[in-house]
């Protein structure tokens, strides 16, 4: 089978939203399928993409969306010429001649921005799978675009999600149940035995493992909540592992809140064993998620999570069992969950044990599951 993977994520480097589809592409190559990759130059620079190319994948670099402003009702020579412009994504797809296209979306409805790609798929009658990597309760859909969105979603071979929450968001905004929806978990690759031993408790260490970005990750709200709840407490440290566009602003906020001696900016680290050998609790105060791989990794390592109600949180976390859940993603809500967590810190180790038990329910090979969705027949789930 000839499978094309097209990513709509053009302004971020390779990240968690790329983990599932790239592992699926690797499995497809290993099983003898031909693979095409359409990604931004920033994403293409990642070793995972280079590894796929070395294994035989065809690479196409794309820097902008495939916007088509023509008359969608006209499928004549003008449209055909536009679709086949030299160096366009559509021309590259023509050359590859895929049997199936997977569109990996950073948001819920990126396909509405890819009017050229969707026109090509319809013109060539190529089956496609839409895959959503993140969403937020504040997302909206223009009512005028709802019929188009529903038509594209309903024609899809499958509409994939990493969490029930994101599926429900799309269905609410569409005003329809998706009979072709599939939940496929994000992959976790640790490379060491889990769960890890519980760290020493001479100082309570909490960790954020995320892009240092306020819009989606709400780290500004987290720091304010930490100042509200823990400023007068002893024997704690908050470590931020990651890089991002708001790093300087967060360091400034940390100083303004008087937390310089308690909040440590550790930079990016892919040494998860080192992180969770020394830290007790993951903080995940997100406004937008699909299913955070950092959350799944923490659970595998036997660490409880403090989180806001977004993405895969409702699938994997239970308040008071393996997690502390904020009622909403705002300063007060995060602060309430943090106060509860701090008051119950002597229970964190027991909650960490419950966290590791949670992982027994997880799919050990989600990339195989997604490949089976792509290569299998279009089956409609019971709504």
Q: Would the pLDDT of 322 be above 50?
A: yes
Q: CB–CB of 201/280 below 8 Å? A: yes
Q: Which residue has the tokens 């003008």?
A: 78
Q: In Å, how far are 74, 131, 168, 210, 354 from 374, measured between CA atoms?
A: 30, 11, 22, 30, 34
Measuring CA to CA, which residue among 272, 301, 284, 270 is closest to residue 238? 284
Q: CB–CB of 40/47 below 8 Å? A: no
SS3 53: helix
- As a whole number of angstroms, the distance between CA 160 and CA 156 comes to 10
What's the pLDDT tens digit per position in 137-151? 999 999 999 999 999
Contact residues for 359 (Cβ-Cβ < 8 A; gap 6+): 194, 296, 299, 300
- As a whole number of angstroms, the distance between CA 295 and CA 358 comes to 12
Q: Would the pLDDT of 286 be above 60?
A: yes
Distance of CA 127 to the CA centre of its chain: 24
- As a whole number of angstroms, the distance between CA 65 and CA 10 comes to 8
Domain spans in the chain, listed from the N-terminal domain onward: 2-187+363-375, 204-361
Query: pLDDT band for position 201 (50/70/90)?
Result: confident
Q: What is the mean pLDDT of residues 333-343?
A: 98
The β-bridge relationship of strands 128-132 and 100-105 is: parallel
Q: Would the pLDDT of 82 be above 70?
A: no
The predicted pLDDT at position 68 comes to: 76
Is there a shared CATH topology between the 2-187+363-375 domain and the 204-361 domain? Answer: yes
Q: Would the pLDDT of 88 be above 70?
A: yes
CATH number of 2-187+363-375: 3.40.50.2000
What topology is assigned to 204-361 in CATH?
Answer: Rossmann fold (3.40.50)
- As a whole number of angstroms, the distance between CA 81 and CA 46 comes to 33
Q: In Å, how far are 110, 257, 267 from 234, measured between CA atoms?
A: 46, 16, 24
Contact residues for 166 (Cβ-Cβ < 8 A; gap 6+): 108, 132, 134, 135, 290, 311
Q: What is the mean pLDDT of residues 158-163?
A: 98
Query: pLDDT band for position 318 (50/70/90)?
Result: very high
- As a whole number of angstroms, the distance between CA 242 and CA 288 comes to 17
- As a whole number of angstroms, the distance between CA 117 and CA 103 comes to 10
- DSSP secondary structure string, 236-290? EEEEEE---TTHHHHHHHHHHTT-TTTEEEEE----HHHHHHH--EEEE--SSBS
Q: Would the pLDDT of 381 be above 90?
A: no
Predicted TM-score (pTM) of the model is 0.93
């Amino acid at each position: 089978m000839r499978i094309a993977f097209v990513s709509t994520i053009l302004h971020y480097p390779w990240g968690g939203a790329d983990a599932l589809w790239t592992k699926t592409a690797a499995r497809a190559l290993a099983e003898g399928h031909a693979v095409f990759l359409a990604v931004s130059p920033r994403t293409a620079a990642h070793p995972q993409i280079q590894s796929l190319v070395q294994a035989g994948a065809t690479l196409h670099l794309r820097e902008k969306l495939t916007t088509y402003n023509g008359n969608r009702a006209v499928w004549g020579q003008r449209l055909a010429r536009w679709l086949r412009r030299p160096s366009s994504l559509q021309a590259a797809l023509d050359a590859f001649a895929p049997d199936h296209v997977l569109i990996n979306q950073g948001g819920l409805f990126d396909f509405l921005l890819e009017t050229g790609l969707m026109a090509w798929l319809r013109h060539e009658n190529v089956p496609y799978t839409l895959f959503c990597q993140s969403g937020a309760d504040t997302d909206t859909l223009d009512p005028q675009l709802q019929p188009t969105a529903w038509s594209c979603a309903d024609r899809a071979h499958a509409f994939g999600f990493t969490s029930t929450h994101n599926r429900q968001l799309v269905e609410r905004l569409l005003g329809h149940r998706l009979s072709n929806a599939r939940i496929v978990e994000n992959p976790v690759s640790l490379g060491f035995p889990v769960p890890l031993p519980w760290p020493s408790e001479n100082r309570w260490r909490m960790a954020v493992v995320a892009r240092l970005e306020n819009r989606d990750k709400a780290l500004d709200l987290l720091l304010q909540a930490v100042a509200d709840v823990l400023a007068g407490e002893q024997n704690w440290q908050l470590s931020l592992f990651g890089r991002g566009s708001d790093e300087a602003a967060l360091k400034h906020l940390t100083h303004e809140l008087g937390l310089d001696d308690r909040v440590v900016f550790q930079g990016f680290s892919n040494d998860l064993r080192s992180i969770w050998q020394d830290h007790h609790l993951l903080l995940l105060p997100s406004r937008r998620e699909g299913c955070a791989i950092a959350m799944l990794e923490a659970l595998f390592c036997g660490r409880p999570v403090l989180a806001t109600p977004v993405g895969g949180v409702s699938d994997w976390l239970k308040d008071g069992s393996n997690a502390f859940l904020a009622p909403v993603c705002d300063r007060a809500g995060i602060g309430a969950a943090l106060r509860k967590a701090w008051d119950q810190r002597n229970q964190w180790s027991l909650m960490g044990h419950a966290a590791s038990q949670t992982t027994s329910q997880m799919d050990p090979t989600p990339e195989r599951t997604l490949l089976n969705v792509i290569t299998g027949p279009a089956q409609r789930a019971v709504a």
